[in-house]
Each structure stands twice: as structure tokens, then as C-alpha cells.
Amino acid sequence: MLNSVLRPLAAALGPGDGGGPAAGAETTPASPAEAAWDAALFATRLRARLADAAPPGLLEATAALQDLACQLAPAAQRASRIAELAGIQAALRAAIKVTENGPYLATNVPAVYTCLGEQLAVPPQLALCRCGQSAMKPLCDGSHARFGFSGEKDPHRVLDRRDS
Ligand code: FES
């Protein structure tokens, strides 16, 4: 949560008061699953409203919250939650952004498959691991920040070549 949600959100929002509830405001305690779902809905609506102006940190945090909310939901509700999130951001064009020293941010991609060809049921905003350190591949878990991943080209990389 710290690496995959709070760190990218802090980077996206910049310095400030955090936007928390006003002093003295009443808050209703929620279960972790309810809190994650509320946070995912909030982040998804904000991400959809900002569209192409949404900063990468917001996309990364939204992806983590969408995944968390769907994982914490009862199995019978996951498909409907993915569909609800997809509906909120349906107007966004399908795209994949490469972040500086971070994951691929995939929005509204039509399908995601494993290397064995199995289709994954995934939320509409994804952060896909690019550093190889995630414990939940293919999704990013924020480990790239902890390990200081650099997206620069490795001078010792195997050069591209045409495959026949
Ligand atoms: S890019 Fe984030 S964990 Fe790999």
C-alpha cells in the first residue's frame, strides 16, 4: 500500500495538506474491503475526469487501488466491480504509457494474457511491472521505487535484432 498507492499519490499531488477530512469532521469506520472500494472509486473518477492530464502517479495509485479493491471483494462480485470501474473510465482512450523509472501504465486495454495464453480478468487501469522486482507480476507492486529501478538503456543489453 505504501509503495503502490501512497508514494505515487504523494508524487502526483505534490506538497500540501493531504486533503484529508476537516478538523472535527465525522468519519464512518469501514471494513478494509469497503474502504478499498471507496478509495478505488474516488481515484478512478478523478483519473477519468483528468483524462490525459492525469499525472503518472495518479494512474499508478489508481491501478493499485483498483486491483486491491477487486482482490478484497468476494469472488462473486469481482467481475461486476471490474465492470463498474470500466464504466467510470470508459471514455478514456486505450493507451499504454511508459513511466520514467517505473511501470507501464495501461488504460482500457482490451485484454491481458499470461505467457501461456490465459486471459486475465483485470481492472481497466493497470500498472504493469517493468523492473522485474514485483512480487505480484504482471502487476507492479511499487518495488521499483524501493530498488531504485532505472529505465535508462543498459549499456550491456543484448542488442535488438530482427527475428525471422
Ligand atoms: S515496475 Fe513497479 S514493481 Fe516493477
In a domain, 18, yes or no: no
**Within a domain: 164:** no
Half-sphere exposure of 29 (CA within 13 A, CB side): 1
Distance (Å, whole) CA 163 – CA 59? 34
How confident is the prediction along the chain (164 residues), in pLDDT tens digits per residue? Answer: 667 776 777 676 666 544 444 555 556 657 999 999 999 999 999 999 999 999 999 999 999 999 999 999 999 999 999 999 999 999 999 999 999 999 999 999 999 998 899 999 999 999 999 999 999 999 999 999 999 999 998 888 888 888 87
DSSP structure class, residue 155 = T
Number of structural domains (the chain) is: 1
Q: Is residue 154 part of a domain?
A: no
Q: What angle do CA 40, 109, 33 make, to 5 degrees?
A: 20
60 in a domain, yes or no?
yes
Q: Does residue 143 have its Cβ closer than 6 Å to ligand 1?
A: yes
**Residue 164: helix, strand or coil by DSSP?**
coil
CA–CA dist 133, 131 (Å, integer): 6
Does 86 fall in a domain?
Answer: yes
Strand partners, 96: 106
CA 103 to centroid of chain Cα atoms: 9
What string of DSSP letters covers 23-86?
Answer: TT-------HHHHHHHHHHHHHHHHHHHGGGS-HHHHHHHHHHHHHHHHHS-HHHHHHHHHHHH
Domain enclosing residue 104, as ranges: 2-13+30-147
Q: Is 3 in the pocket of ligand 1 (CB under 6 A)?
A: no
Separation of CA 37 and ligand 1 centre (Å):
23
Per the domain annotation, does 107 fall within a domain? yes
Is the overall model pTM greater than 0.85, yes or no? no
Residue 7 lies in a domain: yes
CA of 22 to the centre of ligand 1 (A): 34
| 22 falls within a domain | no
Quick one: which atom of ligand 1 is closest to the CA of 132?
Answer: 4
| Rounded Cα–Cα distance for residues 130 and 150 (Å) | 10
